Copies of this chain bind each other. A is one copy, B any other.
Amino acid sequence: MAEISQMIDSEVFLAFTSYATIVILKMLLMGPITAYFRFSRKVFANPEDVSLKSKKLEDQKKMLRIDPDVERVRRCHLNDMESILPFVLIGLLYALTGPDLRTALLHFRIFVGSRFFHTIAYLTPLPQPSRALAWVVGMGATISMAYRILSTGLYL
């Protein structure tokens, strides 16, 4: 069997590295967006967070509630984790199977594009099925890479 190091086509790996880093940064951005909505809506999850905004007990109680906009950002963040983390892990293993550069780029571009669109569709929100479609397209790219991994070599 070939050495892993020989199986790596450096351009494919560099492309993977670039797209993976960009889409992880997009996911990390959901943290500050949540914080922005929490501060602008004055909605917090922990009593100690509230004390930064007001010293009055009555005001503090009001701020410990569920807000639909904050929950929307949190669901978007969770969906990112459900989709992007598997993509990065599957993509890493896929890049090691020595795929054709153009095919690999197609997978990476479709996935990353679909996830940026998904975030816009979720936070705007755009009418459905735009968000559902973005999710399906991203999922399809990940499953296609997983299929390539399993068909290249299966050792169970």
Q: Which of B5, B129, B142 contacts A28 (CB 8 A)?
A: B142
Chain A 1-38 interface mask (CB, 8 Å, partner B; 1/0): 11111001011011101111110110110110000000
Q: Which of B13, B15, B89 contacts A4 (CB 8 A)?
A: B13
- Give the CA-CA distance A149 to B19 in the complex, in Å: 11
A139 within 8 A of B: yes
Is A82 within 8 A of B31, CB to CB? yes
A41 within 8 A of B: no
Is B143 within 8 A of A20, CB to CB? no
Task: Report B-chain residues with C-beta under 8 Å of the C-beta of A8.
Answer: 3-5
Give the residues from 85 to 128 in chain A that come closer than 8 angstroms, CB to CB, to chain B: 85-86, 88-90, 92-93, 96, 125-128
A54 within 8 A of B: no
- Give the CA-CA distance A131 to B46 in the complex, in Å: 11
Is B86 within 8 A of A15, CB to CB? no
A72 within 8 A of B: yes
Q: Which of B46, B81, B93 contacts A85 (CB 8 A)?
A: B81
Is B51 within 8 A of A21, CB to CB? no
Complex A-B: 17 CB contacts under 8 Å: A3-B5, A3-B10, A5-B8, A11-B155, A14-B155, A15-B156, A17-B96, A17-B149, A17-B153, A18-B149, A18-B155, A21-B149, A30-B82, A31-B139, A46-B72, A81-B81, A85-B89
- If A45-B75, A49-B128 are given as contacts, then 5 extra A-B residue pairs at C-beta distance below 8 Å, sorted by A number, are A1-B14, A18-B156, A31-B83, A48-B131, A92-B92
